[in-house]
Homo-oligomer: A and B are copies of this chain.
Amino acid sequence: MGSSRPGTQSLQSRTYRALRRSILDGDFVPGRAVTIRGIAEDLGISPTPVREALRRLVAERALTLSATGRVSVPVMTREKLAELVNARICLERQAAIDAVPGITDRVVTRLSRLNRSIDRAIEAGDHRRYLVTHRDFHFTLYRVGGGEVFLPLIESVWLQISPFLRYTLSGEHLSRYSTSDRHVEIIEALERRDATALGFAVEADIRHGIGALIESDWNRPDDTAAGANTAGIRAADRESG
């Protein structure tokens, strides 16, 4: 209706996608405030669609709304991290198990290929590529069992964790806590269509990956990215969800 071309998604939707992607890719620094007008200026649009995109992210718990209406990147606490890990295990184990009946050799091959991509990203020390491929690996698996219910729930949890993954992104952590061996367990369980083993492998992968987070010192102020949160926002390139 307000959209110029028929095929074009709404401005609010594209803004949401761009912000969401920035969060998942680790461009948002925990604790920093996000302003409606700031993002609107960066994107060259009016505040209206930005406001809606931000509120949507708040609804998905990716951002928090302070008492004064200020939107900011949440600050992590030990308790919250523990809860997030529990939620990930709950949801992703079930999603993986639900995927088993729909698993084909083609999917397993694709996951293996993604796993090699992850390894390459780790070797290259490419943090962003690591995050993208790692996310792709998990969601490729969960999408098989498919559903409009589990995936949004899982995405919400990932959005809540993502801003803090930056503290595991030092080259040292990246190599020490390589997740690829756990992913191999997942792939092997898939090849055998062994739902029980798959559940354990997924749980192990999650616990292992988060281990790096718990050990790191994510409570002290950030030092790597001094830029504003809005710096990394790129226009949404795809129309897909």
How distant is the Cα of A157 from the Cα of B149 in the complex, in angstroms? 8
Instruction: Report if A181 contacts B (CB, 8 A).
Output: no
- Which of B61, B98, B148 is in CB contact (< 8 Å) with A152? B61
Number of interface residues of A (CB under 8 A): 32
The stretch from A83-91, A124-132, A182-190, A229-237 touching chain B is A83-91
Interface readout for A81-105 with B: 1 if CB under 8 Å, 0 if not?
A: 0011011001100100010000000
Interface of A is mostly: helix
- Which of B60, B84, B94, B152 is in CB contact (< 8 Å) with A149? B84
Instruction: Report if A160 contacts B (CB, 8 A).
Output: yes
- Which of B56, B69, B86 is in CB contact (< 8 Å) with A1? B69
Q: Which residues, 156 to 180 on A, are CB-close (under 8 Å) to B?
A: 156-157, 160
- Which of B56, B86, B147, B148 is in CB contact (< 8 Å) with A59? B56
Instruction: Report if A52 contacts B (CB, 8 A).
Output: yes
| Inter-chain contacts of A87 with B (CB < 8 A) | 91, 94, 149-150, 153
Q: List 10 A-B contacts (CB under 8 A).
A: A52-B55, A56-B56, A56-B59, A61-B152, A86-B150, A87-B153, A91-B91, A91-B153, A153-B156, A153-B157
How distant is the Cα of A238 from the Cα of B1 in the complex, in angstroms? 36
| Inter-chain contacts of A68 with B (CB < 8 A) | 1
Instruction: Report if A215 contacts B (CB, 8 A).
Output: no
Closest B residue to A160 by beta carbon equals B149
Interface readout for A180-206 with B: 1 if CB under 8 Å, 0 if not?
A: 000000000000000000000000000
Closest B residue to A56 by beta carbon equals B59
Distance (Å) between the CB of A139 and the closest chain B CB?
16
Contact across chains for B94 and A86 when beta carbons are under 8 A apart: yes
